[in-house]
Structure 1
Amino acid sequence: MKRVVITGVGAITPLGNTVDDYWNGLVNGVSGAKLISKFDATNFKTKFACEVVDFDPLQYLEKTEIRKYDLFSQYALASVSEAIQHAEINFDKIDKDRVGVIWASGDGGVSTFEEQIGEYKTGNGIPRFSPFFISKRILNIASGLISIKYGLRGVNYTTASACSASNTAIVDAFNYIRWGKADMIITGGSEASITESSIGGFNASKALSTNNENYLQASKPFDINRDGFVLGEGAGAIILESYESAIKRNAPILAEIIGGSLAADAYHVTGTHPNGEGAFLGMKLALEDAGIEASEIDYVNAHATSTPMGDQSELKAMQRIFGTNRTVSISATKSMTGHLLGAAGVIEAIACIKSIQNNQIPPTINSKDIEPEFIGKFDLTLSGTKQKKVNIALSNTFGFGGHIACSIFSKFRD
């Protein structure tokens, strides 16, 4: 099978609208939480989220396009633009039949759906919908728009495995390339879910933190006082490419992807198995796929959303995987970005790639009173960014429905 390398990354996040700004926010321990500005949250139990700020779609799109595209698609195209620029791709010089797009989203055009249904309900029941309503809201449209914009005729589809969706997309793209079915795939995910229905729905399911008085510290993975996740939004893009393709066009190689796995918790619609059975299986299969031992992992970017049961089950799974190994460093970057749902996996994969490039472990912020059962058993990177040689990093993502996706990245060695 072919080797698969990373040649470009792009990001739109609550910590900044470039990869460099995002990474700087992570290593400096910045919280992206803010009071919600996208709608009046006065009557909602949760009044804060991790919003993208200072996003100007005119930097990436024409005015006519902005009117036709939901915000989740705008975020997608913006992150892809940065990734393509960093990867130094000239699509006129490569075979576009061999370049694909595998993109992810959990909610798709949810804001478009809310807006259009709201207008319908307040318009005396007259069905005056926008001609762009369907094409703006469907999950697969971002993948299609990326393909159309760059004329890419290879594999093109959307993964929809909830919060593991973009990591699922990465694993799928990895497999397509290493099996020789594509030379290059643009992969990642995008979400623009800070809306009334999303906040209200997650509140109703008791998934969100309601720590409105101290929202900057509300996301506190592994802490006994955690009370739910903080909703985030944005996008991340990764250019995956066969080693041969990257060398042929003299592309910059940032890292290599060496393993990935997809599995299921098969336990509960929204809850995780108390012992982390799915998480354990996902990590185990990813390690086997990469052909490495758990002791070779230097860094784990944990799924760790800051929910009471989810964090605990992931720690139990990691305890089974890593045993008494104290050399692996673990951090929960959702403590800073919030939870980007279907886009969480890709921005956390980018964090792994940057960690490998810079030999730095971003911190877990806000967490002080760790679950007693796990005190001293893990390096949870609580005291700030850690300088450490990072050769191999693992990214975990888990989604409602029991979906599991894990990916493993390494330093590139020629």
Structure 2
Amino acid sequence: METASLASPLCTSPAANYGNYHPLKSSMLKSPKRHKKLTSRCNIGSTFCIRNGFSRKTMAVSAAQSEKELVITKKKETGERRIVVTGLGAVTPLGDDAHLFHTSLLEGVTGISDIQGFDCSEFPTRIAAEIKSLSTDGWISPKIAKKADKYLIYALVAGKKALVDAGITEQVSGELDKSRCGVIIGSAMGGLRVLNDGFEAIKVSYKKMSPFYIPYSLTNMASAVLAMDLGWTGPSYSISTACASSNYSILNAASHMIKGDTDIMLCGGIAGLIACNALSQRNSDPTKAARPWDADRDGFVMGEGAGVLLLEELEHAKKRGTNIYAEILGGSLTCDAYHITAPHPEGVGMVSCMKKALAQAGVAREDVNYINAHAPSTRLGDLREYQSVIRCFGKNPELRMNSTKSLIGHLLGASGAAEAVATIKAIQTGWIHPNLNLENPDKHVDAKGLVGPMKERLHIKVAMSNSFGFGGHNSSILFAPFKGN
């Protein structure tokens, strides 16, 4: 969804406080000293310390300050543990296999259609990217499949498929040190269906309420049940930062591994279909509804699903002799502290997030030649992100940008994980998917930097995947081809 950009000092991510660590260490700011109550949205600065390796540097940031003035010293710790992606799992409107999902993206197949899951004939929006069929046979016990909310089912299936994709068979699983294996699956809202069922049941009688009413509605339950199923006793929790939940989960998982807490982690995000404002009402032509950066866009399209990555510490993966899809070079999380939904007109928060990601990873902006954008297909969200990319990267003719949401809609807490799968598959295959419905580019956008209606061949040097959420939660992750040195 759209986010607000920085109008006041950057704040520490709420997810970064788990266990007193920083996602990918130097990407996060230390908590600022208590400052005066904001009396306006602009012209208020504050001082922070950036922990960069074992050193600290002080930086003053003002909302009125130009993004070009935001300077962050690059530094990469020597001997830092490297994190690689070895497994991909996905449950999406285009199928429940990560590799077929990417194939469908390349072919320009859309997962958006008329809603079939419930009667929405009286609603102004009657289209979405639904998961119309999903077999749980062999993945989830019948008991859980019958009682669990959809968000939990999606997480279990996607998580186990990521394990299989990484070659974690039952035998291999038995050889893992499970105290060093963890799960972080983000969700924007948790189990809304079971929550609603509980509300309806109690209207009749408290005796009608399911004993699973509370447990299966909790956001953390997907991580918990998956960890129980696997017997993994390392860190297990959920992060809920709206549409940025997946990226926050991935970066927090990587942080645990860099610190040495774990060697292997399942991470990603999930989403079930819900109602929301700011939706497209192009009911007569669902396949044309999601149209990021197009002048005729009228809102985003809701979707449902899950994406899960299996991350491993490099030496752990090498010892297993498993396939490596890509390496996580770094990332950043920032807080806008501006507005609950609206993006800041200057996009400072988005710019600072991308710049911090580059600085934390020690990557020059010229080396990034692919961005899988958040681009929700809303006028403010698309434009602010595009402008922020230009401010961060300049007009680099080699930089290509697309939006996975143009094909599968907005998966809320799962969007970042599904887009991470698309990004990693692009690195592996050398193909990036098209931007669907970009027929009349917004006048403020230079379409030359955007992928067109057909897939494109691209040798990716470094890819950035962006997710920005309501509440001003910004996140950027850098992936790159794994180099065996």
Decide: shared fold, TM above 0.5: yes
Q: TM-score, normalised by structure 2?
A: 0.81
1:97 aligns with 2:97: no
Contact kept in structure 2, 1:260 and 1:408, CA below 8 Å: yes
1:150 aligns with 2:230: yes
SS in 2 for 1:213: coil
Residue 68 of structure 1: CA displacement?
3.1
Contact kept in structure 2, 1:16 and 1:53, CA below 8 Å: no
Equivalent pairs, count: 402
**One-letter amino acid matched to 1:189:** G
SS in 2 for 1:363: coil
> Structure 1, residues 331-369: CA drift from partner, whole Å, max 9, x if none?
011000100000000110111100000111111100111
1:178 aligns with 2:258: yes
2:296 to 225, 234, 242: 225
Distance 1:52 1:222 in 2: 25
1:48 aligns with 2:119: no
Residue 126 of structure 1: CA displacement?
4.7
**One-letter amino acid matched to 2:483:** R
Residue in 2 aligned with 1:83? 162
SS in 1 for 2:151: helix
Higher helix share: 1
1:251 aligns with 2:330: no
SS in 2 for 1:78: helix
Contact kept in structure 1, 2:335 and 2:472, CA below 8 Å: yes
Residue in 2 aligned with 1:118? 200
SS in 1 for 2:208: coil
SS in 1 for 2:284: helix
1:399 aligns with 2:469: yes
1:22 aligns with 2:101: yes
Residue 127 of structure 1: CA displacement?
5.4
Distance 1:172 1:114 in 2: 31
Contact kept in structure 2, 1:26 and 1:362, CA below 8 Å: yes
Residue in 1 aligned with 2:333? 262
User: What percentage of aligned pairs have identical amino acids?
Assistant: 38
Distance 1:233 1:8 in 2: 21
Distance 1:353 1:116 in 2: 39
2:247 to 137, 161, 167: 167
Residue in 2 aligned with 1:283? 354
Distance 1:19 1:60 in 2: 16
Distance 2:124 2:248 in 1: 32
**One-letter amino acid matched to 1:93:** E
Contact kept in structure 2, 1:190 and 1:236, CA below 8 Å: yes
Contact kept in structure 1, 2:437 and 2:453, CA below 8 Å: no
**One-letter amino acid matched to 2:401:** I
1:190 to 234, 250, 270: 270
**One-letter amino acid matched to 2:443:** P
> Structure 1, residues 46-68: CA drift from partner, whole Å, max 9, x if none?
00100012212234112111133
SS in 2 for 1:104: strand
> Structure 1, residues 376-407: CA drift from partner, whole Å, max 9, x if none?
5x521023100111121100000000001110
Unaligned runs of 5+ in 2: 1-79
Distance 1:158 1:23 in 2: 26
Residue in 2 aligned with 1:321? 392
| Cα distance change, pair 248–126 in 1 and its aligned pair in 2 (3 A) | closer
**One-letter amino acid matched to 2:290:** S
1:351 aligns with 2:422: yes
SS in 2 for 1:20: helix
**One-letter amino acid matched to 2:228:** I
1:235 aligns with 2:306: yes
Distance 2:290 2:308 in 1: 24
SS in 1 for 2:483: coil
2:191 to 97, 109, 124: 109
SS in 1 for 2:466: strand
SS in 1 for 2:312: strand
Residue in 1 aligned with 2:33? none
Distance 1:396 1:307 in 2: 16
> Structure 1, residues 227-284: CA drift from partner, whole Å, max 9, x if none?
1100000001101110011011112111100011100122210111122111111111
| Cα distance change, pair 126–173 in 1 and its aligned pair in 2 (3 A) | closer
Residue in 1 aligned with 2:30? none
**Greater gyration radius:** 2
SS in 1 for 2:330: strand
Q: CA RMSD in A?
A: 1.2
Residue in 2 aligned with 1:388? 458
1:134 aligns with 2:214: yes
Residue 128 of structure 1: CA displacement?
2.5
Contact kept in structure 2, 1:105 and 1:165, CA below 8 Å: yes
> Structure 1, residues 62-117: CA drift from partner, whole Å, max 9, x if none?
21111332111110010011110011122211111011111100121011112221
**One-letter amino acid matched to 1:251:** T
> Structure 1, residues 267-321: CA drift from partner, whole Å, max 9, x if none?
2101111221111111111111110111101210000000111111001100101
Residue 21 of structure 1: CA displacement?
1.8
